[in-house]
């Protein structure tokens, strides 16, 4: 009964057994709800964290809008909305890199760190898109270029200047949040290069993973990564407020 009502009200263009389609819809709703939460809670945090909360809300808002249209595309064509997905990523992934800069700014992070990470993210995404769409015959080469961007981000947050700044922090909550965000990038973002290798005709995982299941994995992973990223920032902001002298 509930399934029939849900389908009639919200997903009339999706089959009852279209689990990929449902994850598009659920992802859209989850990230829309997260957006409302982040924007509402922005007023509770200290001034220096308001920008971080705003960026967290923008990330989930952009994703929610794109997932709404990706669901319609999937329902109409039954194929992966590759272009829409990359438009989402080219907007949200650099913003997630900005979050690293914002939480480290008080520790002396320079604007160059932010632009370096944004540059790596754009390289990763543009090369990945070209390999999946324009130059499919040489997708392995473009995948390797994309991986350079991903490794560049990993290096900065695990071994580079961002890591060194976080290690110098006196705030245990900030160190914990930075570590959590770093694990999101290492583990959570790993589904994207794995998916790339599974989807492409000459990918290393072509015969290991079923390409048709990757949209399901992407949708779940996107929601966890984007919402989780924002919740880590929110937890840091609230913790910092509680530890401040004014809150004592």
> Which of the residue ranges 111-120, 174-183, 235-244 would you say has the lowest mean pLDDT?
235-244
- How is 188-230 classified by DSSP, letter by letter? ITTHHHHHHHHHSTT-TTTTTS-GGGHHHHHHHHHHHHHHHHH
| Average pLDDT score, the chain | 86
Residue with the larger pLDDT of the pair 101 and 245: 101
Domains of the chain: 2-247 (1.20.1070.10)
Q: Give the residue-averaged pLDDT of 77-87.
A: 91
Q: How confident is the model at residue 229, as a pLDDT?
A: 94
Mean pLDDT of the 155-167 span: 94
Does residue 84 register a pLDDT over 90?
yes
pLDDT (0 to 100) of residue 40: 94
Query: What is the C-alpha to C-alpha distance for residues 35 and 93, in angstroms, rounded to an integer?
Result: 16
Q: How many CB atoms lie under 10 A from the CB of residue 82?
A: 16
Token digits of residue 124 = 């990763």
Percent of the chain with pLDDT over 90: 56
DSSP label at 81?
-
Res 201: pLDDT: 52
pLDDT at 89 over 60: yes
Q: Is the pLDDT of residue 180 over 90?
A: yes
Residue 133: pLDDT above 50? yes
- Residues 106-145, buried b or exposed e (16+ Cβ, 10 A)? ebebeeebbebbbebbebbbbbbbbbbeeeeeebeebbee
Specify the pLDDT at position 113.
Answer: 94
Which pLDDT band holds residue 248 (cuts at 50, 70, 90)? Answer: very low
pLDDT digits (tens, 9 = 90+) for 1-53: 445 444 444 544 666 667 888 899 999 999 999 999 999 999 888 888 999 99
Quick: pLDDT tens for 198-226. Answer: 666 555 555 555 666 778 888 988 999 99
Q: With a cut of 50, say whether residue 67 has pLDDT above it.
A: yes
Cβ proximity of 201 and 140 under 8 Å: no
- Taking 50 as the threshold, does the pLDDT of residue 158 lie above it? yes
- Check residues 116 and 48 and name the one with the higher pLDDT: 116
d(CA 143, CA 61): 28
How far apart (Å, rounded) are the C-alpha atoms in residues 70 and 92? 15
What pLDDT does residue 204 have?
Answer: 56
pLDDT score of 1: 45
């Amino acid at each position: 009964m509930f399934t029939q009502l849900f389908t009639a009200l919200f997903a009339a263009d999706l089959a009852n057994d279209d689990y990929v389609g449902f994850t598009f819809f659920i992802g859209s709703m989850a990230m829309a709800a997260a957006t409302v939460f982040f924007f509402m809670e922005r007023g509770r945090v200290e001034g220096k964290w308001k920008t971080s909360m705003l960026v967290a809300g923008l990330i989930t808002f952009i994703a929610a809008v794109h997932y709404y249209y990706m669901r319609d595309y999937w329902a109409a064509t039954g194929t992966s909305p590759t272009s829409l997905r990359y438009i989402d990523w080219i907007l949200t992934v650099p913003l997630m890199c900005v979050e690293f800069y914002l939480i480290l700014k008080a520790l002396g992070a320079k604007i160059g760190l932010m632009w370096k990470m944004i540059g790596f993210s754009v390289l990763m995404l543009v090369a990945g898109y070209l390999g999946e769409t324009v130059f499919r015959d040489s997708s392995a080469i473009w995948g390797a270029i994309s991986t350079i961007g991903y490794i560049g981000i990993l290096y900065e947050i695990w071994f580079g200047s961002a890591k060194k700044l976080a290690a110098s922090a006196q705030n245990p909550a900030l160190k914990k949040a930075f570590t959590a965000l770093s694990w999101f990038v290492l583990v959570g973002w790993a589904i994207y290069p794995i998916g790339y290798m599974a989807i492409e005709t000459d990918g290393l995982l072509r015969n290991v993973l079923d390409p048709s299941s990757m949209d399901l994995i992407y949708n779940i992973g996107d929601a966890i990564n984007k919402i989780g990223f924002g919740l880590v920032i929110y937890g840091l902001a609230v913790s910092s407020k509680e530890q401040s002298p004014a809150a004592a």
